[in-house]
């Protein structure tokens, strides 16, 4: 450090010249640099997307950084810049036309040229741990910088709304075309169902099916009852040979009276036989009465038995009729079931077409509402104000930079000069660089010191220069 300080002290005049020159250049740059103004507009980005038909859609926490980064890209996009150009009518200003001619030779489109220049002059900066985005615009005019910042804020809000509304409108148009086809499909399905119902005379298949099923169950029950009666009559008919044992004959009042009368006459005949013998006229008369009663009884029993045969035939006919009616009803039910199944297929086609049309209609209604929405999740929090003082150049900063650069250049100049021509600055230099022992050191005051036009220097002839120096 002593050696460095010695070098700096020896070359202080040159270093001061380098530092002064650098500071002078810094002042010149600050004086020649045009003034630039910076205006800042703040935009608030909500993490909820408003919906006119449902609850707000909340952006997931893990997608917040990417969502904010996407919004930064939207702000810096050409679409937003072109909207700013149109809002501020920059393409109509002669200054921009002249700049376009000078820098691009009139090539390309003027609006795109201005939009690219605005993109270079605008910077979107998201706040840390916040949903506020700062839109910083720089320009040579304070009014223009504020106008550009506010223009980008408004254009970003409008573009964000368009990015939500335009897809909804296109989707609504597509849904309208789709709903027309589905409506035609529904009408065709309903026409097929109506034609089938008219052809088969079906108003309500379920109600008619219930009626026919009830009729089928009723006929089945009647057939069962008739079959039971037939079985019973057949059993009685099988016992018709033993007429006295038939329940109908036993239960018949006439048969019972005839049997009672026959028993009474038979008892009277037996008494007369015991009393008068078998050839007595009274006995003959009693036997004739008994025979007549027996013939009457047998005739009544035969009549009852013959009635059982006709009843059996009647029951058989009833069974056949009931069976025929049951078979016809079964065929009717099966035909109705087949018709109902075919109608159910047609009905399902109608229902499917109706559900599809309802779904598309609901989505179309929602898309139309979203397409006509005027709300977005972005709003201007603080518009840019016209700056009072320029943001660049900053004299203090530039002078500080020039001073630091000047110090660095001065040190570099001193070290460079020291490496090209090394003088002797101290006794230590004599010992280290010349390799000569130092016998003593004479301190000369300012008044007694003899002026020396040149200082002793190392290198070629360094030793001779050292000893030719005045004490």
pLDDT digits (tens, 9 = 90+) for 25-68: 888 887 777 788 899 999 998 876 554 444 444 555 546 778 88
pLDDT given at position 208:
66
For all residues of the chain together, what is the average pLDDT? 77
Q: Is the pLDDT of residue 222 over 50?
A: yes
pLDDT given at position 305:
58
**Interior angle at CA 171, CA 167 and CA 175, nearest 5:** 170
Residue 140 main-chain phi, psi, to 5 deg = -80, -10
pTM value is 0.51
Region 402-412: mean pLDDT is 89
Region 441-458: mean pLDDT is 52
pLDDT given at position 152:
94
pLDDT digits (tens, 9 = 90+) for 133-149: 999 999 888 999 999 99
Return the sign of the alpha-carbon dihedral for residues 42, 46, 49, 53. Answer: negative
Describe the chain by its helix, strand, coil percentages, rounded to 5: 70, 5, 20
Q: How confident is the model at residue 7 (pLDDT cuts 50, 70, 90)?
A: confident
**Spatial distance between the Cα atoms of 49 and 357, rounded to a whole number of angstroms:** 28
Q: How confident is the model at residue 415 (pLDDT cuts 50, 70, 90)?
A: confident
The tokens for 308 are 């059982």
pLDDT given at position 112:
92
Domain ranges of the chain: 2-174+371-396, 205-370, 423-471
Q: How confident is the model at residue 271 (pLDDT cuts 50, 70, 90)?
A: confident
Closest CA to 47 of 34, 35, 38, 56: 56
**Interior angle at CA 371, CA 49 and CA 71, nearest 5:** 40
3-state SS, residue 318: helix
CB–CB of 238/316 below 8 Å? no
- 44 forms beta bridges with 132, 379
DSSP per-residue letters across 345-362: HHHHHHHHHHHHHHHHHH
pLDDT digits (tens, 9 = 90+) for 373-391: 777 888 898 999 998 887 7
Q: What interhelical angle do 78-88 and 110-121 show, nearest 10? A: 110
Q: How confident is the model at residue 246 (pLDDT cuts 50, 70, 90)?
A: low
**Spatial distance between the Cα atoms of 144 and 364, rounded to a whole number of angstroms:** 44
Q: Is the pLDDT of residue 337 over 80?
A: no
CB–CB of 241/235 below 8 Å? no
Q: How far is CA 181 from CA 176, 190, 195, 347, 367, in A?
A: 9, 14, 21, 19, 18
Residue 42 main-chain phi, psi, to 5 deg = -110, 135
pLDDT digits (tens, 9 = 90+) for 197-214: 777 776 665 666 677 778
């Amino acid at each position: 450090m002593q050696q460095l300080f010695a070098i700096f002290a020896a070359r202080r005049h040159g270093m001061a010249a380098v530092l002064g020159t650098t500071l002078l250049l810094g002042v010149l740059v600050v004086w020649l640099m045009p003034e630039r103004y910076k205006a800042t507009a703040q935009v608030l980005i909500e993490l909820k997307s408003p919906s006119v038909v449902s609850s707000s859609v909340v952006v997931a926490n893990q997608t917040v950084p990417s969502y904010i980064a996407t919004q930064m890209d939207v702000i810096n996009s050409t679409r937003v810049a072109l909207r700013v150009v149109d809002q501020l009518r920059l393409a109509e200003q002669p200054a921009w036309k002249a700049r376009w001619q000078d820098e691009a030779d009139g090539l390309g489109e003027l609006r795109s040229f201005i939009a690219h220049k605005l993109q270079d002059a605008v910077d979107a900066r998201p706040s840390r741990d916040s949903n506020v985005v700062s839109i910083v615009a720089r320009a040579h005019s304070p009014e223009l910088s504020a106008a550009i910042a506010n223009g980008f804020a408004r254009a970003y809000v409008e573009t964000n709304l368009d990015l939500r509304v335009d897809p909804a409108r296109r989707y609504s148009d597509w849904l309208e075309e789709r709903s027309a086809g589905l409506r035609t499909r529904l009408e065709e399905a309903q026409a097929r169902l109506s034609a089938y119902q008219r052809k088969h005379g079906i108003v309500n298949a379920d109600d008619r099916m219930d009626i026919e099923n009830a009729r089928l169950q009723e006929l089945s029950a009647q057939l069962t009852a008739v079959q039971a009666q037939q079985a019973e009559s057949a059993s009685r008919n099988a016992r018709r040979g033993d007429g006295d044992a038939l329940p109908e004959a036993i239960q018949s009042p006439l048969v019972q009276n005839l049997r009672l009368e026959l028993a009474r006459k038979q008892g009277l005949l037996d008494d007369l036989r015991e009393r008068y013998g078998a050839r007595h006229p009274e006995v003959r008369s009693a036997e004739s009465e008994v025979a007549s009663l027996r013939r009457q009884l047998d005739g009544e029993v035969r009549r009852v038995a013959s009635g059982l045969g006709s009843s059996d035939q009647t029951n058989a006919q009833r069974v056949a009729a009931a069976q025929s009616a049951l078979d016809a009803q079964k065929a009717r039910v099966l035909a109705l079931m087949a018709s109902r199944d075919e109608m159910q297929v047609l009905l399902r086609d109608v229902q499917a077409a109706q559900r599809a049309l309802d779904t598309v209609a609901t989505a179309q209604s929602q898309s139309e509402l979203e397409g006509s929405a005027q709300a977005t999740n972005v709003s201007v929090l603080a518009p840019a104000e016209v700056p009072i003082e320029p943001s660049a150049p900053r004299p203090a900063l530039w002078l500080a930079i020039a001073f630091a650069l000047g110090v660095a250049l001065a040190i570099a100049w001193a070290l460079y000069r020291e490496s090209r021509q090394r003088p002797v600055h101290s006794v230590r230099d004599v010992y280290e660089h010349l390799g000569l022992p130092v016998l003593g050191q004479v301190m000369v005051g300012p008044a007694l010191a003899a002026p020396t036009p040149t200082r002793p220097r190392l290198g070629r002839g360094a030793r001779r220069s050292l000893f030719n120096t005045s004490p």
